[in-house]
């Protein structure tokens, strides 16, 4: 078969498989959150649909599909419809550059990622910065003061924290000498856990900054001011119903998963084993190919759990605290981290 | 393949630019500008400048245009009014633009042999190549530019500050 055709067909297959898995993961992250927050608040969470409430996402999906699709008067129709699509597409697009397994190939096409790009990290940052428009336009086009306030808050928050987020990654990039995500993972795979950026790479400050900034970027508690129910009745998606609301909802949880993936790749060794070469290779080639994917999923799940744990524990920031924290604490800290990391690298490396 | 992408995104870029001028509402114009910036990033990518493409999306389509949209939302700017424009604009504008285009096209075509060719997708400037040039060969101009930008930031803070 023509190599270009093989490449195209295999790529389409990969995109379809990864997209289905990703959307399922989004649906079950919602269930995980409801379950875990339930237990934190000393109640059961959803438990009626299926065993342990496992079919709850299905029921939620059907409910959202069948809801009446309302559109308030005086909205900017085109932008009102465009906004949820931008939000969802931006949330789904980033998974394309995430390498979630080893570098095995089939007929010259990598199996465990969709695209392995030289500038993978920058692509993720770029897509994140485009995703803001979904929220900004949703609030503006809804013709509702709460929506507008919510989206203004979201935009200001994302612009402020994007700087700290980008700067926190510079140390990791300097250590790897590359923006390619597979290279960044490769640097951390030599001695297992001891060479992870967060421990052996001494990037724990950068990891802390990344985590804070990423929580703020995804508008999650304790930085969920854009959709603060008590003040804004729901923020930028107040006027959205049915599947259009579901698109914002999926975008939020998709972004959570992307942040968990990026944290895993940049600070926790991606799809490599935490034990390095301590455990001898067992099983056949297939087991050794599947094992990294399982490590990756386990790490991502741990980050998702942390996300939910933080949401269940911490109260919301005040707006001035949010801005002060971003500009006066995280940003200088990120710059200090860059200076120290580059000095150490210049002396040692 | 490269040519198809070039025509597609070049066309999108021009369409966005024309739409930017024709739209009456500032937010639609701002969104058209985002389309222009992003399709320019794809054109950079086709020419092998991958870092420039990513920076274009992050800095221009992302940060700067978000600020534009933010300001338009905050001021709640209404539709702009159309005036028939001055006579001078009609008389000088179109011939002026055409003359400028003609001169540029003539210069580039006549200097074609000296300028050399860049083929679509024929070479790749990696990020490390770019940074090597930027931080070794062109270190002084690069640092001077960054200080210039810092001065501009400080200046804007001083100008925007409220009187005590």
Domain boundaries, chain A: 68-274+300-348
Angle at B8 between CA B6 and CA B14, to 5 degrees: 95
The partner residue sitting opposite B70, judged by closest CB among A122, A123, A155, is: A155
The partner residue sitting opposite A123, judged by closest CB among B54, B127, B128, is: B54
**Contacting residues of A for B50, CB less than 8 Å apart:** 117-119
Q: Is A108 left (phi over 0), alpha (psi -120 to 50) or beta?
A: left
Q: How many residues does chain B have?
A: 164
Instruction: Report the gap between the CA of B63 and the closest CA in chain A (Å).
Output: 7
Residue B26 pLDDT = 83
Beta bridge partners of A106: A109
C-alpha A154/C-alpha A139 separation (Å) is 10
Residue B85 pLDDT = 67
CA distances from A312 to A33, A44, A134, A211 (A): 9, 14, 26, 16
Confidence of residue B152 (pLDDT cuts 50, 70, 90): very high
Torsion of CA B83, B87, B92, B97, to 10 degrees: 20
C-alpha A29/C-alpha A31 separation (Å) is 5
Contact A79 B27 (CB under 8 A): yes
- Residue partners of A65: CB distance under 8 A and separation at least 6: A242, A243
Q: Look-up: residue for tokens 């003359």?
A: B99
Q: Is A71 left (phi over 0), alpha (psi -120 to 50) or beta?
A: beta
Nearest residue of chain A to residue B126 (CA atoms): A118
- Supply the mean pLDDT for chain B: 84
End-to-end CA distance of chain A: 47
**Contacting residues of A for B37, CB less than 8 Å apart:** none
Residue A114 pLDDT = 82
- Element containing residue A172 per DSSP (H, E): helix A170-176
The partner residue sitting opposite B127, judged by closest CB among A133, A148, A179, is: A179
What average pLDDT does range B141-158 have in this prediction? 92
Is residue B123 over pLDDT 80?
A: no
Tell the burial category of B54 from Cβ atoms under 10 Å away from its Cβ (0-12, 13-18, 19+): buried
Contact A162 B63 (CB under 8 A): yes
C-alpha A150/C-alpha A160 separation (Å) is 15
DSSP B48: T
The per-residue pLDDT string of chain A (349 residues; one tens digit each, 9 = 90 and over) reads 787 888 888 888 888 988 999 889 988 898 888 888 888 888 888 888 878 878 888 888 888 888 888 878 877 788 888 888 998 999 888 888 888 877 777 777 777 788 888 888 888 888 888 888 888 888 888 878 888 888 888 888 888 888 888 888 888 888 888 888 888 888 887 777 777 777 777 788 888 899 888 888 888 878 877 776 677 777 777 778 778 888 888 888 999 999 999 988 888 887 777 777 777 777 777 777 788 888 889 989 998 999 889 888 888 888 888 888 888 898 999 999 999 888 888 888 6
Angle at A322 between CA A317 and CA A327, to 5 degrees: 160
Residue B102 pLDDT = 93
Residue A316 pLDDT = 82
C-alpha closest to that of A340 among A189, A208, A168: A168
**Overall fold of domain B2-78+87-125:** 1.20.120
Beta carbons of A270 and A188 less than 8 angstroms apart: yes
Six-digit token string for A63 = 């409910």
Q: Look-up: residue for tokens 């932008």?
A: A79
Using a CB–CB cut-off of 8 Å, the residues of A that contact B are 76, 79, 117-119, 122-123, 125-126, 128-130, 132-133, 136-137, 139-140, 148, 151-152, 155-156, 158-159, 162, 166, 177-179
Q: How many CB pairs under 8 A join A and B?
A: 74
Which of B75, B127, B129, B150 best tests the A interface by mutation, with the highest count of A CBs <10 A?
Answer: B127
The partner residue sitting opposite A126, judged by closest CB among B31, B58, B126, is: B58
Beta carbons of A235 and A76 less than 8 angstroms apart: no
- Residue partners of A196: CB distance under 8 A and separation at least 6: A188, A267, A268, A269, A274
Six-digit token string for A53 = 């409430």
Confidence of residue B148 (pLDDT cuts 50, 70, 90): very high
Q: How many residues does chain A have?
A: 349
What average pLDDT does range B127-131 have in this prediction? 83
C-alpha A123/C-alpha A129 separation (Å) is 10
What average pLDDT does range B127-139 have in this prediction? 86
The long-range contacts involving A11-14, CB below 8 angstroms and separated by at least 24 positions, are A11/A109, A11/A114, A14/A109, A14/A111, A14/A114
Q: Is the CA virtual torsion A76, A77, A78, A82 positive or negative?
A: positive
Residue A349 pLDDT = 67
What average pLDDT does range B12-38 have in this prediction? 88
Contact B73 A148 (CB under 8 A): yes
C-alpha closest to that of A312 among A32, A38, A47: A38
B73-106 pLDDT, tens per residue? 777 766 777 666 677 777 787 888 899 999 999 8
Angle at A185 between CA A111 and CA A347, to 5 degrees: 155
């Amino acid at each position: 078969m023509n190599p270009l055709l093989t490449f195209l067909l295999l790529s389409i297959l990969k995109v379809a498989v990864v997209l289905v898995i990703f959307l399922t993961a989004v649906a079950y992250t919602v269930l995980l959150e409801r379950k875990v927050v339930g237990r934190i608040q000393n109640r059961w969470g959803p438990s009626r649909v299926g065993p342990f409430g496992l079919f709850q996402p299905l029921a939620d999906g059907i409910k959202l599909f069948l809801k009446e699709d309302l559109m308030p008067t005086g909205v900017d129709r085109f932008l009102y419809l465009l906004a949820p699509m931008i939000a969802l597409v931006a949330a789904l697009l980033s998974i394309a550059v995430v390498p979630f397994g080893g570098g095995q190939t089939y007929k010259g096409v990598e199996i465990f990622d969709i695209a392995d790009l030289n500038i993978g990290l920058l692509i993720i940052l770029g897509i994140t910065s485009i995703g803001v428009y979904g929220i900004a336009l949703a609030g503006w086009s809804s013709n509702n003061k709460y929506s507008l306030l919510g989206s203004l808050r979201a935009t200001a928050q994302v612009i402020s924290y994007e700087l700290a987020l980008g700067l926190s990654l510079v140390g990791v990039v300097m250590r790897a000498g590359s923006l390619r995500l597979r290279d960044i993972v490769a640097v951390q795979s030599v001695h297992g856990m001891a060479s992870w950026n967060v421990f052996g790479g001494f990037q724990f400050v950068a990891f802390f900054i990344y985590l804070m900034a990423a929580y703020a970027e995804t508008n999650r508690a304790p930085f969920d001011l854009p959709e603060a129910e008590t003040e804004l009745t729901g923020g930028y998606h107040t006027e959205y119903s049915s599947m259009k609301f579901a698109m914002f909802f999926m975008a939020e949880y998709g972004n959570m998963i992307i942040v968990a993936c990026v944290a895993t790749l940049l600070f926790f060794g991606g799809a490599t084993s935490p034990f390095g070469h301590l455990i001898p290779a067992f099983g056949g080639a297939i087991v050794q190919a599947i094992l990294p994917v399982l490590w990756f999923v386990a790490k991502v799940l741990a980050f998702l759990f942390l996300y939910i744990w933080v949401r269940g524990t911490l109260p919301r920031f005040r707006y001035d605290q949010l801005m002060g924290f971003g500009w006066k604490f995280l940003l200088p800290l990120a710059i200090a981290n860059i200076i120290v990391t580059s000095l150490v690298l210049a002396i040692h490396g | 393949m490269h040519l198809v992408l070039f025509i597609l995104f070049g066309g999108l870029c021009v369409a966005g630019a024309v739409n930017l001028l024709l739209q009456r509402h500032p937010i639609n114009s701002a969104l058209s500008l985002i389309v222009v910036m992003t399709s320019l990033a794809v054109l950079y990518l086709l020419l092998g400048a991958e870092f420039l493409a990513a920076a274009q999306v992050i800095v221009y389509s992302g940060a700067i245009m978000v600020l534009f949209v933010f300001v338009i939302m905050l001021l709640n700017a209404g539709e702009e009014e159309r005036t028939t424009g001055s006579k001078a604009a009609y008389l000088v504008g179109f011939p002026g633009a055409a003359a400028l285009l003609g001169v540029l096209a003539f210069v580039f075509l006549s200097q074609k042999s000296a300028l050399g060719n860049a083929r679509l997708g024929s070479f790749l400037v990696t990020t490390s190549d770019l940074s090597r040039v930027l931080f070794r060969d062109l270190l002084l101009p690069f640092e001077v530019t960054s200080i210039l930008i810092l001065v501009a930031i400080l200046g804007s803070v001083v100008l925007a500050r409220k009187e005590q």
